[in-house]
Structure 1
Amino acid sequence: MSNSSKDSFWAELESKLKEGLANLNSFPTDHQPILNQLQALTQLTVEDDFRSSIPNEILQLLLTIIQRPVGVPMVLECARILRNCCGKNWESFPDTWNQLLSKCNQLLESFILKEFPVEEIVLARVILQCVGNILNTHTNLSHIIWESLQSHLSKLLSHEDEKISLYSSSVMFAVLRNSLTIREELTTHKWRDLTAELILSSHKGILYSQFAIKLFMCDQNLLENMYNFQELHTRLLLLNQISEFSPECEDMDVQNWQCFSRLFQERANLILRTCENPSLDLEAMEATSLVEILAKSSSGDVCHRELFLDDDLLVTTIDLLRSIHSLGQSGSNYFTTINDHFGSVEPHPALNFKCNLVRLLGNLSYKNPSAQDRIRELEAIAPLLECCNLDARNPFIQQWSILAIRNLCGKNIANQEVIGSMTRQGVVQPSLLEDLGMVVEESDSGLSVRPCDANRKP
């Protein structure tokens, strides 16, 4: 369509909308004529050529309509047009667009305050889509939208309507992505409830909430502040999300690994008090989540490099493995090995804890002679070898143990000799080592063990 044709079209549409408004003044209950015009405009603004050229006069008419008590259907159609336009020509008519955005925020607020807002559900969805679209094209409006919606975002994120929750999380993510200042503000105690809802929303699988959590993972201070201000049960949800994201989150701030290491060392021994305790100790579960994050992430180059020389973490992990191993052998308790893939186990903080300790030790000893020697000197090789057995409480511990042993043996003759001597004593069967990639050789001096190829991290 040529510019002259487009101008004629907009002028004709403006005339029809004005005629519809005039008709509305004479017949307040007859909404159909103007509603038909709005529905036609909604269809047109699906096309980029129309939505990017919508004139200010049309926008002002939309503002006039939604400021009148015309009912949900007509306001909804206006909101759909605004959503489709995405604020593309905001720079041309900033005052009108700001008024429209303000009215949208007012409508959203009234929606939240109503006890049974069933008929406004679709309208609230469209307004949130409109706000999200505007944020994607006009990042400078983030603070205006944050000021307008901040007190309502918690209720929107937790709304029972899935689309309301999704679209509000999209708005939340866009605001946080566009402004470091708002991210910093959100990690203060004032917004603890809102961040708790954001974490819960992420835990439920809401995609944009997960994107928002990843933003905080890229900054050490922000993530630590968010973590410290939360209640314990919310901390566990946050750790669960970090555990899921950390292996793939390449932009994770390196200092976060130091933070998690420190937190784990502070809470590590809490797991020992669950030895004969059937209850789900939440404080102990925090230690369980922290070691899982460290075990998973330490296979990545950035995290491994950061924890490579963390001797305190290494010693804490060794001591804990030895303590759990010893307690498990002292009688029947929650640390006792169940030598069966299909053995019955009940929920407990210690589930998979030992496996993650082994996995972490294996990663820390990868191409790390200092850690390899430390593990031998602190007599942790024997517990590691005994972890090569099946254990229903620690699925895959057998495989992680062998991979840890491979890393301990890499270019470390002393460790190879210790493992060879223990193999002769029957601590672990040579066939098991061979099946899982180790070379067991017999000579006049006895058995020796070495990796069959280059070292690798679990």
Structure 2
Amino acid sequence: MAEESVFRNLLEVLVSASSEIERAYKDSCELVDLDTCLLLIAECFRCLRNACVECARNQHIMRNLGLISTSVHLIKLLHGIQIQEELLLSALRCSLQFLGNIAAGNVESQNSIWKCAFPDLFLTCLTYSDEKIVAYCCMVLFTCLNSEKVRELLDPGNLTVALHVLKVYKEQLESEWSFLIVTDHLLKCPELVKTLYAKLSNQERVTLLELMLAKVSEDNPVTGEEMNVFIRHAEFLAGCFQEKCEAVLKLTSAAGADEEALVTIRLLDVLCEMTSNSKQLEHLQVLPGLLDTAIDTLRLTHHAGQQAVNIFTATRAMTGEEEISHPAVNFKSHLIRLIGNLCYKNKENQNKVHDLDGIFLILDNCRIDDNNPFVNQWAVFAIRNLTEENERNQELIMQMDDEGLLDSCALKSMGLEVEKQDGKLILRSLGEKTS
């Protein structure tokens, strides 16, 4: 219910304070009462911040008075003060909260802030030493972003903003706003993700992939246009996995976790989740080379585990109380999961696994393995998908069983047994009664 004159008076106070600070630093003279000046600025922004909460009228008045441009100018000015006093931090925090509140639900204010503040203010505040200032800056950025503005981040000069957001998330995992910027905005632009990925370190790539994993693992599945976006992500990530998959073999060394190998592990995790979605699965099933790569990588890791004792060696070392924390735990399980997904109701891929000797490879990995505690469950799933309406693959398993090439214990450990019925192979669960 405040009159416009109230906000005009506050504007005059901020302009006056801004001029006094500029004059003091321009003339290299000491500001007589900096503390009082900073306190006054903070109180003005507190008033403005509170007055525009869910109030379109006040947001409109403040914007038309020029409070947005004045605030952005003052934030940049305050950033130049080389002190870390609480009063300065309070003034900066309140100013950013004001920008966040005046932008909330108000497209005109969002556009005005973007015009005045992008990219300089965001680059300044995202790298500030105070976590609250960084968080409030992320809030403003999240509120202002839309699909059109996200594309502006593709400009080489603006890409640094997106890089800083990822860095904020990596260093401040409790920062909800940086998480939302990536998952709700940046991930909706495949071109930006591809450009970002090329610029990131391996550690930062892991962070980005973990955010993608969080997005594709959400309870609410992606639909519509967002589905088309994630299909493009899937194609890009599949290419990255095919290119770098052998990096995981570096983990056979006891030297510690290799960052490039960690990227490979996260790529596989994301692809497993993506192939659990029917729409994305259909696209990934026909990607050239992905299934071949998954089988080859399973073969390489399986062989590496047989050649020497390492993370890919099947082990039963755990007593039940120990826990293996190696990043490659479940890697072979996830490879089998990916192969099983890619063969779901897909005769061509079922036959390809047959031709690449992948069925025996999957069955040969079905041993109790503390490094891959869920390998049997995923193998059951993969064998089911490989044999569903595929007599050729069914007959191969039966032939291996007849010739003694298949360890029946492996099938039993999976909860399966092979049985002939009316001249045909029946692969059934143990304990399942025949009709």
TM-score (norm 2): 0.81
Offset from partner CA, 1:309-368 (integer Å, 9 cap, x none): 1241111111111121122112223321223455675645x4332222111111101111
Shift, 1:257, TM fit: 0.9
Q: Does 1:206 align with 2:175?
A: yes
Instruction: Tell me the residue number matched to 2:31.
Output: none
CA contact (8 A) 1:192 1:230 kept: no
| Amino acid paired to 2:126 | L
CA contact (8 A) 2:7 2:62 kept: no
Instruction: Tell me the residue number matched to 1:77.
Output: 43
Mapped partners of 1:95, 1:296: distance in 2 = 45
Which of residues 407, 411, 430 in structure 2 aligns to 1:427? 407
Report matched runs for 1:145-184 at 5 Å: 145-146=113-114, 147-148=116-117, 150-177=119-146, 180=148, 182-184=149-151
Q: Does 1:320 align with 2:297?
A: yes
| Amino acid paired to 2:189 | D
Summarize the Cα distance change of 1:91–1:107 in structure 2 as closer, same or farther, 3 Å threshold.
closer
The percent of aligned pairs where both chains have the same amino acid is: 26
Instruction: Tell me the residue number matched to 1:62.
Output: 10
Mapped partners of 2:43, 2:86: distance in 1 = 17
Report matched runs for 1:331-342 at 5 Å: 331-341=308-318, 342=320
Shift, 1:288, TM fit: 1.7
Shift, 1:384, TM fit: 1.0
Summarize the Cα distance change of 1:200–1:237 in structure 2 as closer, same or farther, 3 Å threshold.
same
Q: Does 1:294 align with 2:274?
A: no
Summarize the Cα distance change of 1:116–1:235 in structure 2 as closer, same or farther, 3 Å threshold.
same
Summarize the Cα distance change of 1:326–1:445 in structure 2 as closer, same or farther, 3 Å threshold.
farther
Unaligned runs of 5+ in 1: 1-49, 453-458
Instruction: Tell me the residue number matched to 1:246.
Output: 216
CA contact (8 A) 1:433 1:440 kept: no
Summarize the Cα distance change of 1:422–1:156 in structure 2 as closer, same or farther, 3 Å threshold.
farther
CA contact (8 A) 1:200 1:234 kept: yes
Query: The residue matched to 1:189 in structure 2 has which SS?
Result: coil
Deviates most, 292-301 or 246-255: 246-255
CA contact (8 A) 1:416 1:450 kept: no
CA contact (8 A) 1:56 1:96 kept: no
Structure of larger gyration radius = 1
Mapped partners of 2:400, 2:176: distance in 1 = 50
CA contact (8 A) 1:90 1:97 kept: no
Which of residues 228, 236, 260 in structure 1 aligns to 2:198? 228
Which of residues 71, 83, 98 in structure 2 aligns to 1:115? 83
CA contact (8 A) 1:291 1:356 kept: yes
Instruction: Tell me the residue number matched to 1:195.
Output: 162
Shift, 1:160, TM fit: 4.8
Summarize the Cα distance change of 1:310–1:274 in structure 2 as closer, same or farther, 3 Å threshold.
same
Mapped partners of 1:301, 1:111: distance in 2 = 52
Mapped partners of 1:301, 1:309: distance in 2 = 13
Query: The residue matched to 1:357 in structure 2 has which SS?
Result: helix
Instruction: Tell me the residue number matched to 2:307.
Output: 330
Query: The residue matched to 2:389 in structure 1 has which SS?
Result: coil
Q: Does 1:409 align with 2:387?
A: yes
Report matched runs for 1:260-409 at 5 Å: 260-276=237-253, 278-341=255-318, 342=320, 345=324, 347=326, 350-409=328-387
Report matched runs for 1:122-161 at 5 Å: 122-146=90-114, 147-148=116-117, 150-161=119-130
Shift, 1:96, TM fit: 4.8
Report matched runs for 1:32-43 at 5 Å: none
Shift, 1:447, TM fit: 6.5
Offset from partner CA, 1:143-187 (integer Å, 9 cap, x none): 44234252242453354544323221111112222x51x312323
Summarize the Cα distance change of 1:339–1:447 in structure 2 as closer, same or farther, 3 Å threshold.
farther
| Amino acid paired to 2:206 | L
Mapped partners of 2:155, 2:64: distance in 1 = 34
Query: The residue matched to 1:89 in structure 2 has which SS?
Result: helix
Unaligned runs of 5+ in 2: 18-35, 431-435
Mapped partners of 1:95, 1:357: distance in 2 = 55
CA contact (8 A) 1:129 1:167 kept: yes
Shift, 1:247, TM fit: 2.7
Mapped partners of 1:55, 1:105: distance in 2 = 24
Mapped partners of 2:104, 2:272: distance in 1 = 37
RMSD: 2.8
Mapped partners of 2:50, 2:329: distance in 1 = 50
Instruction: Tell me the residue number matched to 1:45.
Output: none
Mapped partners of 2:59, 2:159: distance in 1 = 36
Equivalent residues, number: 393
Summarize the Cα distance change of 1:328–1:166 in structure 2 as closer, same or farther, 3 Å threshold.
same
| Amino acid paired to 2:122 | L
Shift, 1:208, TM fit: 2.0
Offset from partner CA, 1:220-240 (integer Å, 9 cap, x none): 212212222223332221112
CA contact (8 A) 2:96 2:136 kept: yes
CA contact (8 A) 2:419 2:426 kept: yes
Shift, 1:404, TM fit: 1.3
Shift, 1:441, TM fit: 2.9
CA contact (8 A) 2:62 2:68 kept: no
Summarize the Cα distance change of 1:433–1:335 in structure 2 as closer, same or farther, 3 Å threshold.
closer
Deviates most, 150-159 or 400-409: 150-159
CA contact (8 A) 1:297 1:303 kept: yes
